[in-house]
Amino acid sequence: MTMAKGRGGKDGERQRAIEPGESLTVRNRRRWFVVSYDIPDDRRRTKVMKTLNGFGKRVQYSVFECDLKQADLERLCALLRRLIDERQDDVRIYGLCDVCVDKVVMLGLAQRHASRAYVVV
C-alpha cells in the first residue's frame, strides 16, 4: 500500500493510504476550502449549515473548513445551489493551496482542526 503526503497533524503533515486503484490525480487530491455564507432566511441557513456539516468542520458561526476532493467539491456546490436563493443568499468557497494553508494566521481561540483520520489496517 502506498502512502500519500497530506496536511494536518501536529507537524503540519500526515499520511494517508491511497486506496487501491487510486492515483494522485487532480481529481483524487484533497484540498482545503473555506466556505462562508450569509443567508437571511433561517430555514435556508439551517439547511446550508447541515449540508456543510457533512463536508467539513464548523469553525465560526457561518464559516466551515473542508478538506475535499474535486468530486466532493462539485457535489457540495450542486447541493448548495439547490438550497440557496441566488437573489438573497451569499455563499463563498475559497480554495487554499498547500502553501496558503501553511500561511493561515490564527489568533485567539482559533485552532487548526485535523482533517478526517485515516486508519491503515
C-alpha cell at 35: 466556505
Pair 76, 66: CB distance under 8 Å:
yes
Which residue has better confidence, 67 or 113? 67
Backbone angles phi, psi at 71, to 5 degrees: -65, -40
- Partnered with residue 58 across adjacent β-strands are 64
Contact residues for 46 (Cβ-Cβ < 8 A; gap 6+): none
In angstroms, the Cα distances linking 75 to 68, 78, 101, 113, 117 are: 10, 5, 23, 22, 21
Cβ atoms within 10 Å of 96's Cβ, excluding its own? 16
Cβ atoms within 10 Å of 80's Cβ, excluding its own? 19
pLDDT tens digits, 7-27: 444 334 334 444 555 555 556
Give the three-class secondary structure for 39: coil
Average pLDDT, the chain: 79
**Does residue 48 register a pLDDT over 70?**
yes
pLDDT tens digits, 90-101: 999 999 988 888
pLDDT tens digits, 65-77: 999 999 999 999 9
